[in-house]
C-alpha cells in the first residue's frame, strides 16, 4: 500500500559546495563518495550487492550484448536502405522512416520504462525487452511490405527502450561507486555500440547471471501516468516532426508540421512543470496524501545537480550524437549514391569504426581513473568534429579512400564512445541508487533525440543546396554542406564540454593513497574527510 507523502521528511539543505563536483575534488581527483542531495524518507537505504569476479564478467557481457543489439537494430538498417528501397519498391523519400520509426518509439519510451525498471525490477524489464527485441527482429526479416516493415520497426523500438536503461541500472547497482570494476563495466557496456553486428547469443544466459531484483527502495511505488503520457506524447510529436518535416508537402511550412511541433514543445513544458510540482509535494513534510500526486517520473532538479553539470552533460550527449549521426548517415550516402558503391563495398570502408570503437572503450576503462573527465570527453568530441570537417573539405572524390575516408572512419567514434562511457559514470555519481535506471533512460533519450535532430537538420541543409544546384545528379557540394552542419554541431559539443566540465577532475576509480607514516597532518585531513562522508551517509 502506498505511503502517504506527508510521511516524507524534507531533505536537509545542501550547500553548493556539497552538490558541486568541483568542490568535492582533491588534488584534481573527484571525491569518490561525492555527496548528492539526500533522498527523502520515502526511499529506504539499498544494500550494496556483492558480486563475484566471474559473475561480474558474465553480467557485463550480457549487458554489453544488449547494448550491441539495440545499436545494431537501430543503425544496422542504414547501410541497407538503398537495397531495401529497390527490393520493396520503397519511395526513396520515405526510406528515412525505416531508421526513424525505431528511434521514435525507443527514444520516446526510454524515460517511462526507465522509471518502471527502478520501481518494479530492472531484471524483469531487461529480460522482457530482450525477448521483445528478438521476436520483432525475427518478424521484420520476413516482411515484404514497406508499410508493415515501418510499423514493425516502430514496435521493435519498445524492446530497445526497455533494455538500455535497465542494463545501466543493473551495472550501476552491481558494481560499487568509485571501483575499477565499475569503470571497466561501463566501458565494456559502451563497447557494445561500436561492435554492432554480433547477435544476442548471451541473452539467454542473462537470466542466470543477473542478480535478483532487490525490493524497491521507494515506499511509494505509484506511477505518474499523467507525466508518462505528457512526456511520451511530447517526444513522439517532436521526433515525428524532425523525421517528417523535410518530406511534408510544403516541407517545414506545412501547417500540420508547425502545429505538431508547437504542441510537442508545449506538452514537454507542461510535463516539466508537472514534475516540479510533484517533486515539491513529495519533499513537503506537511503535504497531505493525495492519489493525484504520485512520485514524479523524474525529478527535474536532477538537471541542476553538480551546479548544472548534470544538465550540461545531457546537452553534450545531444549535440555529440547529432554530429556523429549526421556524419555517418551522409558518409554512407556519399559512398553509395555519389560514388556508386555497393552496400558491401561501402560497409568495408566503415570497418575501422567498430575496431576503433572497441579500442576507445578499452582506453576509457584504463584512463577514466587517471585522466580528468574534461580531457577524455573534450578529446572525443573534438575527434568526432574533426571527422566531419575532413569529409566536408573533400576536393576530389576520385582520390583513393586512404586519402580522405580512412582517418575520419578511425576518429569519428571517439566522441560517442568517450562521451557515453565517461559520461555515464559521471551522471551516475550524481544519482541515487533508486534513480539509476531513470538516469540511464534520460541519457539514452538524449542520444535518440540528438540522432533525430542531427539527421533532420543535415537533411534540410543537404536538400536546400541540392535543389539549388539541380536534382538531376548528386553534387559534391551538397554532401559538403551536410558535413559542415555536422561539424557545427560538434563544435557546440566541444564548447559545452570544455566550459561545463572544466575543473571537475577524475570521475572513475582512483587508487587509494598510502599515507606516509608519521604524517599527522595528512592523517588528520583524511580522518576529517572520512567523518564528513560518514555524516553524509547517515543523513541519507
Distance CA 138, CA 135 (A): 5
46-67 pLDDT per residue, tens: 455 556 677 777 777 777 777 7
148-196 pLDDT per residue, tens: 888 888 888 888 888 888 887 888 777 776 666 766 666 666 655 544 4
State the cell numbers at 405: 575516408
Q: What is the pLDDT of residue 219?
A: 63
Higher pLDDT, 210 or 232: 232
CATH class (in words) of the domain with range 21-38+50-223+297-501 = mainly alpha
pLDDT at 496 > cutoff 90: yes
Sign for the pseudo-dihedral over CA of 388, 394, 398, 403: negative
Q: What is the pLDDT of residue 525?
A: 40
Q: What is the pLDDT of residue 540?
A: 33
State the cell numbers at 465: 543546396
Distance CA 308, CA 294 (A): 26
Average pLDDT score over residue span 390-404:
85
pLDDT band with cut points at 50, 70 and 90 for residue 214: low
Supply the pTM of this predicted model: 0.72
Average pLDDT score over residue span 269-282:
91
Boundaries of every domain in the chain = 21-38+50-223+297-501, 224-296
Distance CA 296, CA 227 (A): 7
Q: What is the pLDDT of residue 317?
A: 93
| Lowest mean pLDDT across 224-233, 309-318, 362-371, 403-412 | 362-371
Gyration radius of the chain over CA positions:
24
Q: What is the pLDDT of residue 6?
A: 37
- 452, 124 contact by CB (below 8 A): no
Amino acid at each position: 500500500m502506498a505511503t502517504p507523502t506527508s510521511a516524507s521528511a524534507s531533505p536537509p539543505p545542501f550547500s553548493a559546495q556539497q552538490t558541486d563536483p568541483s568542490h568535492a575534488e582533491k588534488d584534481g581527483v573527484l571525491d569518490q563518495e561525492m555527496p548528492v542531495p539526500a533522498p527523502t524518507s520515502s526511499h529506504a537505504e539499498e544494500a550494496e550487492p556483492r558480486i563475484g569476479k566471474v559473475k561480474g564478467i558474465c553480467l557485463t557481457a550480457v549487458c554489453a550484448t544488449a547494448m550491441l543489439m539495440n545499436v545494431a537494430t537501430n543503425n544496422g538498417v542504414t547501410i541497407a536502405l538503398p537495397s531495401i528501397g529497390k527490393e520493396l519498391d520503397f519511395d526513396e523519400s520515405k526510406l528515412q522512416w525505416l531508421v526513424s520509426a525505431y528511434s521514435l518509439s525507443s527514444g520516446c519510451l526510454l524515460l517511462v520504462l526507465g522509471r518502471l525498471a527502478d520501481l518494479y525490477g530492472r531484471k524483469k524489464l531487461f529480460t522482457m525487452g530482450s525477448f521483445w527485441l528478438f521476436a520483432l527482429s525475427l518478424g521484420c526479416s520476413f516482411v515484404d511490405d514497406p508499410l508493415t516493415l515501418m510499423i514493425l520497426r516502430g514496435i521493435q523500438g519498445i524492446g530497445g527502450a526497455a533494455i538500455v536503461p535497465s542494463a545501466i541500472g543493473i551495472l550501476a547497482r552491481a558494481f560499487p561507486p568509485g571501483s575499477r570494476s565499475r569503470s571497466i563495466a561501463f566501458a565494456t557496456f559502451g563497447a557494445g555500440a561500436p561492435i554492432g553486428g554480433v547477435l544476442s547469443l548471451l541473452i539467454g544466459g542473462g537470466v542466470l547471471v543477473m542478480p535478483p531484483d532487490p525490493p524497491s527502495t521507494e515506499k511509494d511505488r505509484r506511477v505518474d501516468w499523467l507525466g508518462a503520457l505528457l512526456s511520451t506524447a511530447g517526444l513522439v510529436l517532436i521526433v515525428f516532426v524532425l523525421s517528417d518535416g523535410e518530406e511534408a508537402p510544403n516541407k517545414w511550412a506545412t501547417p500540420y508540421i508547425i502545429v505538431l511541433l508547437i504542441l510537442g514543445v508545449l506538452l514537454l513544458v507542461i510535463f516539466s512543470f508537472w514534475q516540479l510540482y510533484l517533486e515539491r509535494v513529495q519533499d513537503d513534510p506537511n503535504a497531505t496524501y493525495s492519489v493525484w500526486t504520485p512520485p514524479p517520473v523524474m525529478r527535474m532538479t536532477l538537471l541542476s545537480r553538480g551546479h548544472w553539470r548534470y544538465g550540461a552533460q545531457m546537452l553534450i550527449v545531444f549535440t555529440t550524437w547529432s554530429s556523429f549521426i549526421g556524419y555517418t548517415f551522409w558518409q554512407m550516402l556519399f559512398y553509395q549514391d555519389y560514388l556508386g558503391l555497393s552496400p558491401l563495398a561501402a560497409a568495408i570502408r566503415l570497418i575501422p569504426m567498430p575496431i576503433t570503437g572497441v579500442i576507445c572503450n578499452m582506453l576509457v576503462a584504463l584512463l577514466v581513473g587517471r585522466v580528468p573527465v574534461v580531457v577524455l570527453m573534450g578529446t572525443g568530441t573534438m575527434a568526432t568534429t574533426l571527422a566531419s570537417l575532413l569529409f566536408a573539405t573533400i576536393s576530389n572524390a576520385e582520390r583513393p579512400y586512404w586519402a580522405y575516408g580512412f582517418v575520419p572512419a578511425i576518429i569519428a567514434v571517439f566522441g560517442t564512445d568517450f562521451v557515453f562511457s565517461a559520461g555515464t559514470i559521471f551522471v551516475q555519481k550524481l544519482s541515487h541508487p533508486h534513480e539509476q535506471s531513470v538516469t540511464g533512460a534520460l541519457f539514452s533519450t538524449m542520444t535518440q533525440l540528438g540522432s533525430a535532430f542531427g539527421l533532420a537538420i543535415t537533411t534540410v541543409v543537404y536538400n536546400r543546396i541540392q535543389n539549388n544546384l539541380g536534382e538531376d545528379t548528386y553534387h559534391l557540394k551538397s554532401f559538403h554542406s551536410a558535413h559542415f552542419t555536422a561539424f557545427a554541431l560538434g563544435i557546440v559539443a566541444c564548447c559545452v564540454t570544455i566550459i561545463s566540465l572544466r575543473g571537475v577532475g577524475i570521475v572513475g576509480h582512483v587508487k587509494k593513497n598510502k599515507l606516509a607514516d608519521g604524517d599527522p597532518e595528512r592523517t588528520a585531513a583524511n580522518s576529517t574527510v572520512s567523518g564528513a562522508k560518514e555524516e553524509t551517509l547517515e543523513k541519507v
